[in-house]
Structure 1
């Protein structure tokens, strides 16, 4: 179980971006998180993945504090994959940064062998997103924060990406927090949904 308890965070003095957020995500669960632009969805995702430290509150994994070193068991998958890779690295090095996916795993995500010798700018956004998602599935990862990872993709690429991710998540019993604006997508993917409004978390219908 991944638990966020009373998470509060603000970038400047004054009103907090997140105010007293408490959230639970079980292993194998798909939880949808929606909210208006600027509501703090990505901020919460980065807190859960250890990219941002909250002003107040705590994160726990199966009742224990999350590790501060080594591969983080919660991985944040960003909306813009170009921001998550080193532009000077070839795709083979990017993909193998945390682990070495097999050829079968690469094929599941539609990653062609010819891509491995290219640089990030030589792939489309959808192609690079598949690389970033597969890189985030390293052994030891138990939860994924999928932050609008398909919002910029066409319908066919979007469906293929979610199908590959679901297969991998189900095989490994990964918990997935799906952040997005598409209510139909969240309803289709997730067993449960919540919404961020004015820095607070509300149940969603």
Structure 2
């Protein structure tokens, strides 16, 4: 289980962006997270992946604190893949930095062999996002924080990307937190949905009923 306990975080403000927030994500679970722009969804994702330190609270992955170096069991994927890569590295090096996925797995993600010799700038946003998602699925990763990863993709590419992620996640029992403004997407992908508002979480179904 990815277990976040009473997290508090703010950016130089008297009012914290997140206040005493707790969240649990089980292995094999798909959990949806929505919220207004600026509510702190991406900040929460970065906290869960160990990219930001909480001002208060604790985060455990499978009963252990998140490691401070090496491959983390929780990986955060941003909406803009170009922010997650070294623009001077070719795709082959970007992948091998984390692991060496099989040819069949690259095919599942629609990654063409000739992409491996290209720089990130030579790929479209959708192509680079496929590379970044595959790179994040290295052995040892147990939880994936997918932060609006399909927002800028066309509908066909969205479906193909999520099908590939689902295949790997089901095979390895990964816990997936899907962050999106698209509540219809969350309804299709996730068995449980939460909404982030004023620094706390509420079940999305409860809000929809109001």
**2:117 corresponding residue in structure 1:** 117
**2:61 corresponding residue in structure 1:** 61
**2:40 corresponding residue in structure 1:** 40
**2:87 corresponding residue in structure 1:** 87
Equivalents in 2 of 1:93, 1:65: separation in Å? 29
Any idea what SS the aligned residue of 1:96 has?
Answer: helix
Equivalents in 1 of 2:138, 2:146: separation in Å? 15
**2:194 corresponding residue in structure 1:** 194
Q: Give yes or no for the alignment of 1:13 onto 2:3.
A: no
Any idea what SS the aligned residue of 2:97 has?
Answer: coil
Structure 2: gaps spanning 5 or more residues: 206-210
CA displacement at 1:63 relative to structure 2: 2.4
Any idea what SS the aligned residue of 1:163 has?
Answer: helix
- Deviations along 1:75-129, one digit per CA (max 9) or x if unpaired, are 0011000000000011111111110011111100000001011110100000000
**2:177 corresponding residue in structure 1:** 177
- Deviations along 1:126-157, one digit per CA (max 9) or x if unpaired, are 00000000000000000000000000000000
**2:167 corresponding residue in structure 1:** 167
Any idea what SS the aligned residue of 2:163 has?
Answer: helix
**2:208 corresponding residue in structure 1:** none
Equivalents in 1 of 2:164, 2:96: separation in Å? 19
Aligned length: 205
Equivalents in 1 of 2:66, 2:88: separation in Å? 31
Equivalents in 2 of 1:30, 1:161: separation in Å? 15
Runs of 4+ with deviation above 6 angstroms: none
**2:128 corresponding residue in structure 1:** 128
CA displacement at 1:193 relative to structure 2: 0.4
Q: Give yes or no for the alignment of 1:141 onto 2:138.
A: no
- Deviations along 1:173-199, one digit per CA (max 9) or x if unpaired, are 000000000011000000000010011
Provide the TM-score with structure 2 as the length reference.
0.96
CA displacement at 1:203 relative to structure 2: 1.2
**1:107 corresponding residue in structure 2:** 107
Provide the TM-score with structure 1 as the length reference.
0.99
**1:30 corresponding residue in structure 2:** 30
CA displacement at 1:64 relative to structure 2: 2.3
